[in-house]
Amino acid sequence: MKTILICYCALFFLNMQAQTQPWQGKFEPIDHMIAPPNSYRTASGAPGKAYWQQRADYNIKVTLDETNNTISGNETITYYNNSPDDLNYLWIQLEQNVNKKGNQDFGGISNDLKDGITARNMQFLTRAIDFPAGYSIKYIKDNSGNSLKFLINNTMMKVLLNTPLKSGSSLTFSIGWSYTITDRSMFKLSREGYEYFPSDDNTVYLIAHWFPRMAVYNDTEGWQNQQFQRLGEFALEFGDYEVEITVPEDHIVASTGTLQNAEDVLSKTQRDRLEKARQSFDQPILIVTEEEAKANEKTKTKKQKTWRFKAKNVRDFAFASSRKFIWDAQAVKLPTNTVMAMSFYPKEGMPVWQEESTKAIKHALEVYSEATFDYPYPVCISVNTSNIGMEFPMISFNGGRPKNGQMTKNAKAGMIGTIIHEVGHNWFPMIVSSDERKWMWMDEGLNTFLHQRTVAERYPDFSSTTPKSIVPFMSGDKNILRPIMTTSDNELLSQFGSNFYRKPTVGLQMLRNSIVGKELFDAAFKEYANRWKYKHPNPGDLFRTLEDATATDLDWFFRGWFFTTDHVDMELSNVTWFKVYEAEQNIENRKQNIQLKSENQDTRVATQDFSDGPEVIKMSATPDDAYGGFLSRLDEEAVRQQLLGKNLYEVNIKNVGGLVMPVTIEWTYTDGSTEIDRLPADIWRRNEYEVKHTFVKDKEVKTVTLDPNFEFADTNTDNNSFPKSESQSVFDRFKNNQ
């Protein structure tokens, strides 16, 4: 009895372990790794019937003080509580506080002090020159003029409501504020601020993250009030904007939205040129010429004027202002919309920006629209600045500048790539509005995937990201590597670009080109974009949609590529050659030079090449009891005749890197011809570490190679071929063919 009790307890303990520690095989479902479906988000990856999200409309008046480099404004926010919850307080984002002296540092982006260091890096580390960063909140009042209490915690502000905001109701309140505009040269990863030009004593202002903005409240985590720590970007609600921007009279303003008072802020000539640009589909029209911009640099008026803009259904608002701007524009015709593509740049960007910027916008608008949905907004703007690439609805700030009017091919490719990438962010996350602060890969990775597709299609001479691009990263030290499913602010800076940009891009390229297929994948990707435009998707929504819209089990891929640091390293450990001959034939006479080997496959010795010729298979008759209950019999002689004289190759492949992938095999025959066979990743289901597969070939094989076109980022191609002594490295062949 004691023995039985011990056994029972042991079985009970093992059963409990099995329940609490689910099997983590490479092909097990990822259901427990992503949020479960519910009435808000369905198991198919689509928004559910009960899906909801909040909304915030803004009416803002702001003044730019060029003399003191300050900005001050007041805003009225109408916040709609569409959630099923009553809210006692609201959270508002104050990103300008990230540089406020004395605020929590969150762990520096770059905090190495060296014996040799530039003055600029020393400023990043020590803030030797003080800067009065951060908001001054003047008031917060409700719609009746009553003051609302508020508490500020670094980059987040909690507004305490006098009465709860009931589910289904709205609240209107106002905020007065001001701050000193950031000198972008003084702070690491400064996404906004001003750039000063000493040669003509002028400034380009990039005004972003400039007004207190509502934080997201959603069904998956409530308030997204994670602090802004510079790397993780933004989570924002959609709304309508009416914005009045007061700037020096000689400034030109580029902005989110549609200009409402062109007759007040533009000259008759400029308005005529702008109207002409609306009909110009083949080339940009200059609205402000280089000569006019140079003349404008000298004016420095103290007068002001106000530009008024409206934007519908956007999640943010940004603008740029300067008297230095040259401005060009042209129309881009999409199937359902005509967009004004526009570029603003100082003379320092000439001539390359005039030649390339608006053209790059056009290419991005066309390729992204085809891949997802037509760009829905009336304008798309690229503004030139230094050392940056940053996106906002309808407008982006982009680096890349010639030196003495010249740019190398690589520098120009980098500039054009930056413009395409930042324009592309209009789709991800400005419309398909994922949470950048939590899952940066969801916008950067998906956007880079389409950015690289745009480059490959419209600029084929430029290099673009491919599976080989990620090999050095995937081969890295597993002790420090982190999976893609790492939240934005917890990633090592050295891995940031690889893990959040390139690795997701390569993963989507693999799905499109080699796993799902272009037609099926493109339709599924478009389905995801359209399901979640103007909404807030999570990783599980993307994963489920791609499976739902392709009828393909991709959990094995998502698990390995997104949740682990495993890499691809498939080893072609052996290839064995066989032939079938007539049963009654004297094998020694038929093939004099073949030395018969044991029929027991478990004792076969791995060959180094095919020089010993094939092993001979002696097919015997099948015993009746092997057919079980079947009364019919296979035509065994027909089977023999079908295989008679053919070449059978048993391929043995080992999974060294841990990441399962489909297997692509290239056969090079003795006559010089080649052939490709493809096996799905499912071949690893029964054994995740080693598989064997048999192929029947009419011709004799000279060499066998895995992943000949380098589709799967295999980190070690030296073990991809058989015979090894006669085969060139796959990676070397791939490089030589580029």
Q: Is the Cα torsion angle 4, 8, 9, 11 positive or negative in sign?
A: positive
Answer whether 331's CB lies under 8 Å from 280's CB: yes
> What does DSSP assign to residue 321?
E
Q: Which residues of 673-706 are buried (b: 16+ CB within 10 A; e: fewer)?
A: eeeeeebebeebeeeeeebeeebeeeeebbbbbb
All domains of the chain in start order, with CATH: 34-41+56-228 (2.60.40), 232-431 (3.30.2010.30), 434-565 (1.10.390.10), 570-736 (no CATH)
- Give rounded-to-5 percent helix, strand, coil for the chain: 30, 30, 40
Residues 6+ apart with CB under 8 A from 317: 58, 60, 211, 241, 243, 255, 256, 257, 311, 392, 393
Among residues 137, 136, 134, the alpha carbon closest in space to that of 155 is found at 134
DSSP conformation letters of 596-639: ---S-GGGPPPPSSSTT-PEEE---PPPGGGGTT--S---HHHH
CA 426 – CA 429 distance, rounded (Å) = 6
CA 344 – CA 252 distance, rounded (Å) = 9
Low-confidence ranges of the chain (pLDDT < 70): 1-23, 104-111, 582-607, 725-738
**What residue type is 75 in one-letter code?**
E
Element holding 525 (H helix, E strand): helix 518-532
CA 372 – CA 340 distance, rounded (Å) = 19
CA 431 – CA 315 distance, rounded (Å) = 8
CA 494 – CA 717 distance, rounded (Å) = 25
Answer whether 328's CB lies under 8 Å from 358's CB: yes
> Residue 395's pLDDT is what?
98
CA 554 – CA 28 distance, rounded (Å) = 10
Give me the long-range contacts of 583-590 (CB less than 8 A, separation at least 24).
Answer: 583/618, 583/619, 583/640, 587/616, 587/618
Which tens digits make up the pLDDT trace of 636-658? 889 888 889 899 999 999 999 99
Conformation bin of residue 168: beta by default, left when phi > 0, alpha when psi is -120 to 50: left
Among residues 28, 702, 82, 95, the alpha carbon closest in space to that of 437 is found at 95
Answer whether 329's CB lies under 8 Å from 388's CB: no
Distances (CA, A) of 330 to 182, 272, 281, 358, 377: 32, 13, 6, 8, 15
CA 187 – CA 719 distance, rounded (Å) = 47
Which value, in Å, is the radius of gyration of the alpha carbons in the chain?
32
CA 515 – CA 661 distance, rounded (Å) = 9
Element holding 173 (H helix, E strand): strand 170-180
Among residues 479, 371, 484, the alpha carbon closest in space to that of 428 is found at 371
CA 252 – CA 326 distance, rounded (Å) = 9
Distances (CA, A) of 230 to 209, 258, 422, 565: 12, 30, 18, 25
Work out whether strand 285-288 and strand 222-223 pair parallel, antiparallel, or are unpaired.
unpaired
Among residues 488, 654, 470, 493, the alpha carbon closest in space to that of 565 is found at 470
Residues 6+ apart with CB under 8 A from 235: 215, 216, 224, 435, 436, 437, 438, 536
> Residue 14's pLDDT is what?
41
pTM: 0.91
**What residue type is 712 in one-letter code?**
F
Distances (CA, A) of 14 to 1, 7, 24: 20, 11, 16
CA 122 – CA 129 distance, rounded (Å) = 10
Q: Is 79 helix (H, G, I), strand (E, B) or coil?
A: strand
Among residues 112, 228, 192, the alpha carbon closest in space to that of 488 is found at 228
**What residue type is 666 in one-letter code?**
E
Q: What are phi and psi of 63, to 5 degrees?
A: -125, 130
